[in-house]
Amino acid sequence: MARPAAAKIISAGARAPTPDEAAASIVAAPDLRGEIRNWFGHLTGEKRLAALSLIAYHRDVANFFEFLSDHLGGPADIAAIRDLHLRDFRSYLAKRRREDMSSRSLARVLSSIRSLFRYLDRNGIASSAALKALRTPKVPHGIPKPLTATNAINLIAETNELDHAPWIAARNAAILTLLYGCGLRIAECLNLNRSAAPLPATMRITGKGNKERLVPVLAVARNAVEEYLALVPFGLEATDPLFVGTRGARLNPRAVSELVAHLRRRMGLADSVTPHALRHSFATHLLAGGGDLRTIQELLGHASLSTTQIYTEVDSQRLLDIYDKAHPRAK
């Protein structure tokens, strides 16, 4: 039997699937596919999840139901998922483990599946006591790895040393300055349109879940964007992307990741130096400079203060490192 295009998962950087597209790609019986379409519509419309989150939910659930089709001997319907046991979910997690999936990724996959089952439960369609009893894989505790202030500034300056056209060098410097100077996510930066410039002293940013926040913009960031716009060879209209590639289309996040990877190799920096590390550096350096957690939470657009509190661990670790290196009794 021909399967729906479950393997044709929409990749990061592309648009999220519509509810109809998401449901059509799931290996499931028609009655269950209809409910999956409704669930995905709920994520899209009511919860207003960001495109990358929708892509991840879709990918995780599609993979789970492809497994179930093999596991059960055919596409699952609503009756089948009502009868799932703990061993069925454990078999799925074991399969992903054999595929070398990390505990962090397994926890994310399980969160996606639970989101669907919570929706089905709330609407009286199906409930799974087994899934509720399943323990989430323990995720190793990690802390962000920011750059030092000197390395962050030098990373941005290093863009001028690359063999790029002047407008591309100016564009790259402007992007990295916004990531570090304003704490933007890559998507938030690259989603800006030409109408955003000249950048105001305070910029309204739309982040995850379409939540808006106000972000102060340093003069150095405003100037970097103006330098780029003075050189860019395309006549950008207000509705055009602010940051474009060599063909005038919106720049892909992968290009920024590759840029930072190249820069860190040139500078001999750790593999942890990524575009997102500049956002970590923004938060960590603000905290070290006396910024309070609540303000940093608002600047980053974190929904919960507990997410922001991880940066206190970074600062504590920095103090311990200084202590170990400098205290006479630590020698």
Active site positions, annotated: 185, 208, 276, 279, 302, 311
Give the separation between CA 28 and CA 88, rounded to whole angstroms: 16
Phi, psi of 146 (to 5 degrees): -80, 165
Place of tokens 């410039």: 197
Phi, psi of 291 (to 5 degrees): -65, 145
Per DSSP (E only), the strands in the chain are: 202-206, 212-216
Contact 37, 20 (CB under 8 A): yes
Find the radius of gyration of the CA atoms of the chain.
Answer: 23
Tell me if residue 112 falls in helix, strand or coil.
helix
> 237: which residues sit within 8 A by CB, 6+ positions away?
194
Contacts of residues 291-299 at CB distance under 8 Å and 24 or more positions apart, as own/partner, are 298/213, 298/214, 299/183, 299/213, 299/215, 299/216
Contacts of residues 183-188 at CB distance under 8 Å and 24 or more positions apart, as own/partner, are 183/215, 183/279, 183/282, 183/283, 183/299, 183/300, 184/215, 184/279, 185/276, 185/279, 186/253, 186/256, 186/257, 186/275, 186/276, 187/50, 187/52, 187/253
> 13: which residues sit within 8 A by CB, 6+ positions away?
252, 253, 254
Give the separation between CA 205 and CA 188, rounded to whole angstroms: 7
Give the separation between CA 47 and CA 25, rounded to whole angstroms: 21
